[in-house]
């Protein structure tokens, strides 16, 4: 560890304002001594760079799954004053509202014996995946505008799910203020055929089972129980969101100088939140976030159909229930306590998860007494976790926690390490059925490419910013 850094306790390291002479506030990295060896120097520099931006409030937070990203580190949280602060596409990322949805079923683990390969194959057929994959939904420009304004509500109105689903999605599955008019023609073109598709890279659909319950009360409220079969869906806004980010990075990289902003890294290009460019980006980002929520809603519909076809029963007889859906890459205006007073902030979460505590009025009534479900996907060969938000998260991290395991190998390094190995066979030897659009993806996403998710989750629990509810173990994996 750099001598400039200071360990505060067994879960946190401080990046002091003296780390870089441009810093306006400090940084806090939630990391154990064991995970510290994977802490990248470039990620620490990025934390310091973000802490140098105008209007930063309360310091920059980095979760134990932190790693180097574009401008902002992945696993980072930063909040800015609405009056003097900035908004930055690098603080959200290219895959706007990449997020996770967890679906519970009435099935038990033993009922999956002998059907997993068929089920994985059926889901793979029902949900298009892979680079540039096209879905069965063909959107006209007017259709796409409705998706961008309404998000998951559009999908429900089109028959992809129930109105009750919206209560179990962060922000009810759409952000108000999305503006289709500021979205480029190229983004529309990329988005028109990708609604209801999984994509590639680290996106996945996993059939899982509840291996362990840590908190019986909260698990019961979330509709989870031991040996229950669940489905986790991890994807985002596809090519549409990528294009929105690309477009506005170009715009903002040209605009920031006219506002007199000095940035330490061009990837940190930003503009005042209240500027024309800032508001246009925010409105386009909301549109991409809504596209992603609709996408996961549609995918869930086809996953349910795949189960019904394999088990040869109506969907209604399988007792599906949406547990929750959360965003990982997003910027939102939220009210937080700063120096004992409520303050509206633009909170950037990039590779980080909202973790609101019991009693928060933005939570649906069904979860308000216990706190917000937090979904933490692991890699395809290990486990995933369901956590719950805490008051300490609201006090220390703007109501945020980790979002996954976090990479330790680049995709190129992972492919090199996997040379000569059959990753699919290694997974099947563990009892995990797998289908992928290509062997390369399996190599890129193998377990060794990621930190141990259990270690990551242990850090945030020990720090008190979220607590464990259940552990989920994969039975089948669908990758792009």
DSSP state of 101: E
Phi, psi of 296 (to 5 degrees): -70, -30
User: At a CB cut-off of 8 Å and minimum separation 6, what does 180 contact?
Assistant: 144, 145, 148, 149, 287
DSSP secondary structure of 150-181: HTHHHHHHTTSS-GGGGGGBGGGG--TT--GG
| Cα separations in angstroms, 100 against 8, 77, 351 | 31, 18, 11
Cβ neighbours of 261 (radius 10 Å)? 17
User: At a CB cut-off of 8 Å and minimum separation 6, what does 270 contact?
Assistant: 53, 86, 87, 88, 90, 91, 252, 256, 261, 263
* Nearest-angstrom CA–CA distance, 45 and 79: 18
Alpha carbon dihedral 178, 69, 437, 151, in 10-degree steps, equals -10
Instruction: Clarify whether 403 is annotated catalytic.
Output: yes
Q: Strand 373-376 to strand 433-436: parallel, antiparallel, or no bridges (unpaired)?
A: unpaired
Q: Please identify which residue in the block is written with the tokens 């105008």.
A: 54
- Active site residue: 203, 336, 403, 412, which one? 403
DSSP secondary structure of 11-54: TEEEE-GGGSTT-SS-EEEE--HHHHTT--HHHHHHHHHHTTST
Under a CB-based contact definition with an 8 Å cutoff, are residues 169 and 367 in contact? Answer: no
Locate 460 and state its tokens.
């945030």
Under a CB-based contact definition with an 8 Å cutoff, are residues 175 and 150 in contact? Answer: no
Of the candidates 440, 450, 451, the residue with the CA atom closest to the CA atom of residue 418 = 440
| Cα separations in angstroms, 458 against 15, 384, 395, 463 | 21, 13, 19, 8
Q: How large is the angle between the packed helices 116-126 and 276-311, nearest 10 degrees?
A: 140
* Nearest-angstrom CA–CA distance, 461 and 167: 26
Which residues are catalytic, by number? 403
């Amino acid at each position: 560890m750099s001598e400039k850094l200071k360990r505060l306790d067994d879960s946190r390291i401080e990046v002091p304002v003296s780390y870089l002479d441009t810093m306006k506030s400090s940084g806090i990295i939630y990391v154990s001594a064991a995970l510290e060896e994977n802490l990248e120097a470039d990620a620490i520099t990025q934390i310091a760079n973000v802490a140098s931006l105008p209007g930063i409030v309360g310091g920059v937070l980095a979760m134990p799954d932190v790693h180097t990203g574009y401008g902002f580190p992945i696993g980072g949280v930063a909040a800015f004053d609405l009056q003097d602060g900035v908004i930055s596409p690098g603080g959200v990322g290219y895959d706007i509202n990449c997020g996770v949805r967890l679906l519970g079923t009435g099935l038990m683990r033993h009922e999956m014996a002998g059907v997993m390969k068929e089920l994985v194959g059926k889901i793979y057929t029902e949900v298009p995946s892979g680079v540039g994959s096209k879905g069965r939904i063909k959107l006209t420009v007017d259709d796409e505008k409705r998706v961008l304004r309404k998000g998951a509500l559009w999908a429900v109105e089109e028959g992809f799910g129930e109105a009750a689903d919206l209560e179990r999605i962060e922000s009810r599955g759409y952000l108000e203020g999305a503006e289709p008019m500021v979205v480029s023609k190229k983004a529309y073109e990329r988005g028109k055929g990708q609604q209801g598709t999984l994509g590639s890279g680290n996106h996945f659909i996993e059939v899982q089972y509840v291996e362990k319950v840590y908190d019986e009360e909260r698990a019961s409220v979330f509709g989870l129980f031991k040996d229950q079969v669940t489905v986790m869906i991890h994807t985002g806004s596809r090519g549409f969101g990528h294009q929105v980010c690309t477009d506005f990075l170009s715009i903002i990289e040209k605009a920031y100088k006219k506002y007199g902003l000095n940035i330490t890294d061009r990837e940190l290009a930003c503009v005042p939140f209240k500027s024309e460019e800032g508001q246009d980006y925010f409105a386009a980002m909301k549109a991409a976030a809504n596209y992603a929520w609709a996408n996961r809603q549609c995918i869930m519909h086809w996953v349910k159909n795949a189960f019904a076809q394999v088990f040869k029963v109506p969907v209604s007889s399988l007792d599906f229930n949406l547990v929750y859906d959360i965003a990982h890459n997003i910027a939102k205006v939220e009210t937080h306590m700063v120096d004992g007073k409520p303050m509206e902030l633009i909170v950037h979460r990039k590779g980080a998860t909202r973790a609101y505590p019991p009693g928060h009025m933005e939570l649906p009534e069904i979860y308000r007494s216990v706190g917000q479900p937090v979904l933490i996907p692991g890699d395809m060969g290990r486990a995933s976790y369901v956590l719950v938000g805490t008051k300490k998260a609201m006090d220390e991290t703007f109501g945020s926690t980790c979002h996954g395991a976090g990479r330790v190998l680049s995709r190129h390094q992972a492919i090199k390490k996997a040379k000569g190995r059959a990753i699919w066979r290694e997974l099947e030897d563990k009892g995990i059925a797998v289908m992928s659009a290509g062997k390369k993806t399996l190599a890129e996403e193998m377990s060794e490419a990621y930190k141990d998710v259990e270690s990551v989750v242990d850090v945030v629990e020990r720090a008190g910013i979220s607590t464990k509810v259940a552990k989920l173990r994969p039975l089948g994996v669908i990758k792009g």
